[in-house]
Amino acid sequence: MKLTWLGHAAFRIEIKDAVILIDPFFTGNPKFPGDHAAASKGVTHIVLTHGHGDHVGDTLAIAKATGAKVIGDADLVSFLARQGVSNVDPMNSGGTVDQGPFRVSYTVAHHSSAMIDDNGVSHSLGHPHGVVIRAPGEKTLYHAGDTDIFSDMALIDEIYQPKIGILPIGDRFTMGGAVAAMAARRFFHFETVIPGHYASFPMVDATADAFIDGMKGAETKVVVPVVGEAMTL
């Protein structure tokens, strides 16, 4: 699996026969490396954790340009379909769908999910989710989406047994670094954990320092990603 952080909560995942974008927030993302074509090259699937603008991001443009399948909460993808996305796959918490090269499962997350359109109208876009990606020959990956810590993370670990975790650490809108470290240590058996949803806007934490400090002494390897640089996991 090749994984690239594209700033904020956006990640590109490359596996055999699929290129997956999770929460492709490019335009307006101050940490995005700037090459839209490279970030979306070969994309086959877009997986959305929830309906906030800093997660849906450039989904409409990418889906229309590439024909990539958009996977998300049923209410969210129904909304996107009305905006012109023709290839959608609705899901909800607890569900698993076989996408061919991989299976995607949706878990609960503690957050919100709505969007205000250009006319000032607020749209409720279902529920926030975490995402589990399982592909043959690859380690299972869990992207927690935007969330606080919750004790049922232990069930996510028991059911899916993810070896790679992506946890939000930015505080204010999600759990902060110290609490994210508590979640990783208390509820999961990750081999590798990667911080996300930070170092983007002034209102969220600028560094992963609190998370790194909280993970000291743990067996789990902490990988602090560099924006735009692919890593093999």
Report pLDDT digits (tens) over 135-170.
999 999 999 999 999 999 999 999 999 999 999 999
Strand pairing category for 88-91 and 69-73? parallel
Task: Please give the single-letter amino acid code of residue 139.
Answer: K
DSSP code, position 68: P
pLDDT at 121: 84
Q: What angle do CA 24, 63, 162 make, to 5 degrees?
A: 45
- Plot region of 90 (φ>0 → left; ψ -120 to 50 → alpha; else → beta): beta
| C-beta of residue 22 within 8 angstroms of C-beta of residue 10 | yes
- Calculate mean pLDDT across residues 191-212: 98
- Domain boundary assignment for the chain: 2-227
Residue 26 has pLDDT above 90, yes or no: yes
Helix and strand numbers (H, E) in the chain are 7, 16
Question: 187 falls in which pLDDT band (50, 70, 90)?
Answer: very high
Q: Of 144, 180, 150, 177, nearest to 162 (Cα)?
A: 144
Percent of the chain with pLDDT over 90: 95
- Calculate mean pLDDT across residues 178-194: 98
**CATH number of the structural domain 2-227:** 3.60.15.10
Measured between alpha carbons, how far is 98 from 135 in angstroms, rounded to an integer? 10
pLDDT at 86: 93
Residue 221 has pLDDT above 90, yes or no: yes
Residue 123 has pLDDT above 90, yes or no: no
pLDDT at 130: 98
Residue 118 has pLDDT above 90, yes or no: no
DSSP-derived 3-state class of residue 136: coil
Question: 120 falls in which pLDDT band (50, 70, 90)?
Answer: confident
Q: DSSP states of 21-65 as a string? A: EES---TT-TTS-S-HHHHHTT--EEE-S-S-HHHHTTHHHHHHH
Q: Is the whole model's pTM more than 0.75, yes or no? A: yes
Indicate the angle between helix axes 59-66 and 74-82, nearest 10 degrees. 70
